[in-house]
Amino acid sequence: METIQVEAPQTIGDIGIGRTLIEELALKILFLGGEMSLAELADRMCLSLPVVEQIFQFFRREQLCEVKGMARGVHVLTLSGLGKDRASALLAISQYAGPAPVSLEEYSARVREQSVQGTVIKPVDVKRAFQSLVLEEDLVMRLGTAVVSGTSIFLYGPPGTGKTTLAFNIPSIYDDFVLIPHAIEVDRQIIAVFDPGVHQKANGSLPEDWDRRWIVCYRPRVVAGGELSGEMLDLQFNTSSRYFTAPLQLKANNGVLVLDDFGRQRMRPEELLNRWMTPLDRRMDFLTLPGGKKFEIPFDVLVVFSTNLDPRTLADEAFLRRIPNKVNVTYATPEQFMEVFQRDCAARGLLCERELALYLVELITRELKQNLSHSHSRDIVNQIFWTAKYHGIEPLLNRGTIQQACHNYFLQTAAVV
């Protein structure tokens, strides 16, 4: 696994975080963990043993801990009554008791080093990411060009043409790794960044002297749909745990942020566009801490807007100019649709002759007067399976079952009275 070497700090001064915050974090972890060896404390804090030994010496001088013995050559300790009182007071302020954070300065520098705009993308990477889809060469080329820019993409077109599938597959174009911190520190506030639901850890072993505050991950993919609200783009404060978690765009740094069904979110499109006018232009975002203090954070994100609405009804010319890649995803051609249908049938164990695929195309376009949306193929195969399940028989593909599936799936034209 090739990645940037990050050596663990060997002194508290090398961490880049205020000494007091690190000591307070150790107090909270010891309070919650009870009796613990220095090695176990180092693991919980993702710090080196020499750093934790320095913390231990401070606790000992201040009578915040008691030594209970030795385990594998290191001290085993627990908090004293004074230490427990102090830790309890700290937990009332913030219950964060996880890995030590990295500084905002170190995080920002790391994001710039592994920028999504600096990664090398080749045609073979793009073809690999979309190999399971039936796409025209021109569309693949336009998608690859947009990803190389590392900026933003507008995928637009009619419903059912595969925009969401394309957007979801874009992150798989990348085959490199990035470093994601467990948390960052800003003005003595700890902001949790690593999210197992977003950040996928890379496989492989790391050097023993690795700075475990950083996790080697595949480039992030964050997806937001109709549930997106303005609050989700700001720091998330949990009132019970009393510490912050990163907003969507911060979790997506060095990766891809997909806004699916853009224009149908809980927040108005113009509200989102105004919020991101500066980040998309300057690649920097601004977040606000309690008390109104703002701080600058990198906005190194490939943003993918996916919509079946006309982009010109969602944004003005000034904003559309800041989205340099606009890719129109249209209906399938008859040949494309037949290939998609045959693939979908094969994936479900249905034998599909070309004649039957052609019959379906003619039925949809000539008799039902419908366009060939990519999604129709999967949905019609589902109808065939559901009907067979209802009758308690094996699914079978023929003109009769295709006709029945289309009758169930498409809206019927009302008769004129």
Is 230 a residue whose pLDDT tops 90? no
Q: Left if phi > 0, otherwise alpha if psi is -120 to 50, otherwise beta: which for 411?
A: beta
Domain with CATH 1.10.10.10 in the chain: 12-99
Contact 178, 217 (CB under 8 A): yes
Domain with CATH 3.40.50.300 in the chain: 114-176+219-328
Least confident segment among 5-14, 26-35, 88-97, 223-232: 223-232
The per-residue pLDDT for 415 is: 45
- Report pLDDT digits (tens) over 253-292: 999 999 998 887 777 877 888 888 889 889 999 999 988 8
Alpha-carbon torsion angle 94, 97, 103, 109, nearest 10: -120
The per-residue pLDDT for 226 is: 76
What is the architecture, at CATH level 2, of domain 114-176+219-328? 3-Layer(aba) Sandwich (3.40)
- Whether CATH 3.40.50.2020 fits 12-99: no
Q: Report how far residue 325's alpha carbon sits from residue 163's, in angstroms, rounded to the nearest whole number.
A: 14
Alpha-carbon torsion angle 175, 176, 181, 185, nearest 10: -110
Average pLDDT, the chain: 92
More confidently predicted of 224 and 251: 251
Is 416 a residue whose pLDDT tops 50? no
The per-residue pLDDT for 276 is: 84
Helix (H) or strand (E) holding 41: helix 38-45
Q: What is the DSSP-derived secondary structure letter of residue 365?
A: I
Average pLDDT of span 1-12: 78
The per-residue pLDDT for 1 is: 47
- Helical residues (DSSP H) of 68-199, grouped into ranges: 81-93, 104-113, 123-129, 137-149, 163-169
Contact 126, 146 (CB under 8 A): no
More confidently predicted of 247 and 322: 247
Q: Report how far residue 280's alpha carbon sits from residue 256's, in angstroms, rounded to the nearest whole number.
A: 13
- Helical residues (DSSP H) of 150-245, grouped into ranges: 163-169
- Report pLDDT digits (tens) over 191-209: 999 999 999 999 888 888 8
Q: Which amino acid is at 269?
A: P
Least confident segment among 144-153, 234-243, 394-403: 234-243
